[in-house]
Amino acid sequence: GDSVTQTEGPVTVSESESLIINCTYSATSIAYPNLFWYVRYPGEGLQLLLKVITAGQKGSSRGFEATYNKETTSFHLQKASVQESDSAVYYCALGDRGSFNKLTFGAGTRLAVCP
């Protein structure tokens, strides 16, 4: 079946350090996968951070970047310099464009940024 595996948390980094949260996917039943990163900040709901719907493309938002790599089936989330306000739980998700955009989520990675 379809699945998403991401870095197991919690991940702790110091402010201004770089960050990478790994995400790999298996899309055995999806012809045209879409890839997403969602984020949940403390006390807030789940919101879209960035998306890429075409293999080979890069998405970016709020200083975060992720590239849809079809060869390695990966969609790693990166940021060059994190801030304390980036502390949150990050979810990688695989979308099925051909089936009403159903999403398959990874387990989530809790990020703590220390000042």
Give residues in contact with other proteins (CB under 8 A): 4, 34, 36, 38, 45-48, 51, 53, 91, 93, 95, 97, 100-108
Measured between alpha carbons, how far is residue 66 from residues 9, 43, 89, 104 in Å?
A: 19, 25, 16, 17
Residue 68's SS3 state is coil
Beta carbon nearer to other proteins, 93 or 111 = 93
Nearest-CA neighbor of 23 among 70, 67, 77, 88?
77
Shortest distance in whole angstroms from residue 59 CB to other proteins: 11
Task: Decide: residue 66, CB within 10 A, 0-12 exposed, 13-18 middle, 19+ buried.
Answer: buried
Shortest distance in whole angstroms from residue 83 CB to other proteins: 24
Beta carbon nearer to other proteins, 19 or 92 = 92
Beta carbon nearer to other proteins, 13 or 46 = 46
Shortest distance in whole angstroms from residue 15 CB to other proteins: 27
